[in-house]
Amino acid sequence: MTNNDTIFEQEAKRLVDTLMAQPATQSDIDIVERQLGRYPRGMVAVGARCVCGRPLAVVTRPMLPGGIPFPTTCYLTSPEAVKAVSHVEAAGVMREYNDLLAEDETVAHAYADAHQRYLAFRHELAERLGDDESHIALTSAGGMPTRVKCLHALLAQTLVMGEGVNPIGDLTLARIVDEFAPNVCRCSIDAE
Ligand SMILES: [Zn+2]
């Protein structure tokens, strides 16, 4: 075990403590259901909120009811964020970010750490909830640790864990600021 593993474990414990102390309310679940157009199965907590209070990303348990492994622990639910990220994906930004990972060792290293931090977070959730994570233990999301495949998943990590954890999620957030930002409410889903 390296030093970073220990740091990431402690970080994961603190984050899970914070999330478990504020479980999703029925109102949160209702809003997320309308955001996604389906019931958010296995939703543990709201991982990030808009300045208005509506959920932007949710934290989902490692195993859904019915025994289905679910690797996308941090899941983007804000329709405005989803749309903004789809716009930059369509503009070819993922190729640019893959090139950046190939060329910039510092970014690549931070991205590999973001993968470990994702796994540490999921592992902590699995332990607290008693979920089996053996099917997804080494799988994070979005293409990590070496590729960029889904900016939605990477942005969700940035929103849930904060900036400074996932460099590609951070770049994505900066890139879409004219369309989406957590501190500017553009929510279209009614609260009730
Ligand atoms: Zn809002």
Q: Separation of 73 CA from ligand 1 center, angstroms?
A: 22
Q: Separation of 106 CA from ligand 1 center, angstroms?
A: 34
Do residues 56 and 77 touch, judged by C-beta distance below 8 A? yes
**Which one-letter amino acid corresponds to residue 127?**
E
Q: How many structural domains are present in the chain?
A: 1
**Which one-letter amino acid corresponds to residue 37?**
G
Q: Separation of 55 CA from ligand 1 center, angstroms?
A: 8
Q: Specify if 125 maps to a domain.
A: yes
Would you call 54 exposed, middle or buried from its count of C-beta atoms within 10 A (0-12, 13-18, 19+)?
buried
Q: Separation of 147 CA from ligand 1 center, angstroms?
A: 31
What pLDDT, on the 0 to 100 scale, is given for residue 192?
Answer: 56
**Is the confidence at residue 66, as pLDDT, over 60?**
yes
**Is the confidence at residue 174, as pLDDT, over 60?**
yes
What's the chain's average pLDDT?
Answer: 95
What pLDDT, on the 0 to 100 scale, is given for residue 137?
Answer: 85
Q: List, as ranges, residues with CB under 5 A of the ion ligand 1.
A: 50, 52, 54, 185, 187
What pLDDT, on the 0 to 100 scale, is given for residue 131?
Answer: 95
Q: Separation of 52 CA from ligand 1 center, angstroms?
A: 4
Q: Specify if 180 maps to a domain.
A: no
Q: Specify if 189 maps to a domain.
A: no
Q: Separation of 189 CA from ligand 1 center, angstroms?
A: 9
Mean pLDDT of 174-183: 97
Max CA distance (Å), the chain: 48
**Is the confidence at residue 9, as pLDDT, over 90?**
yes
What pLDDT, on the 0 to 100 scale, is given for residue 1?
Answer: 53
Q: Separation of 109 CA from ligand 1 center, angstroms?
A: 33
Q: Specify if 190 maps to a domain.
A: no
What pLDDT, on the 0 to 100 scale, is given for residue 162?
Answer: 97
Q: Separation of 68 CA from ligand 1 center, angstroms?
A: 31
What pLDDT, on the 0 to 100 scale, is given for residue 189?
Answer: 80
Q: Specify if 191 maps to a domain.
A: no
Q: Separation of 185 CA from ligand 1 center, angstroms?
A: 4
| Domain hosting residue 92, numbered range | 3-175
Q: What is the pTM of this model?
A: 0.95
**Is the confidence at residue 118, as pLDDT, over 60?**
yes
What are the pLDDT digits (tens) for 122-170? 999 999 999 999 989 899 999 999 999 999 999 999 999 999 999 999 9
Tokens of 84: 């903004």
Q: Separation of 47 CA from ligand 1 center, angstroms?
A: 14
Do residues 161 and 117 touch, judged by C-beta distance below 8 A? yes
What pLDDT, on the 0 to 100 scale, is given for residue 191?
Answer: 60
Q: Specify if 192 maps to a domain.
A: no
Q: Separation of 186 CA from ligand 1 center, angstroms?
A: 5
